[in-house]
Amino acid sequence: MPLPPPPMTFKCNQCSWSKTTTPTSDALGPGDWYQKCPKCGNPDLHRSRARILAALLAKAGKYLNI
């Protein structure tokens, strides 16, 4: 059984855009992975494993629709 990918934080160094995603399965949806910054188009995004708090906030945001 494949494990779901870990929560990831994407960060753009050109603008201040950043996003934490929490994929729910091994199938990454369009909102779960970013190849480039959706704001300025910078392809050199900084990706890191989300800290647990950011991951929880992202998850809560999904449910609360904020």
Judged by the rule CB under 5 A, the positions of this chain that interact with Zn ion are: 12, 14-15, 17, 37, 39-40, 42
> 14 or 25, CB closer to Zn ion?
14
Q: Within 10 A of 13 (CB to CB), how many other CB atoms are there? A: 12
Close Cβ partners of 37 (under 8 Å, ≥ 6 residues apart): 12, 14, 15, 17, 43, 45
Measured from the CB of residue 21, what is the shortest distance to Zn ion in angstroms? 16
Measured from the CB of residue 23, what is the shortest distance to Zn ion in angstroms? 21
> 12 or 55, CB closer to Zn ion?
12
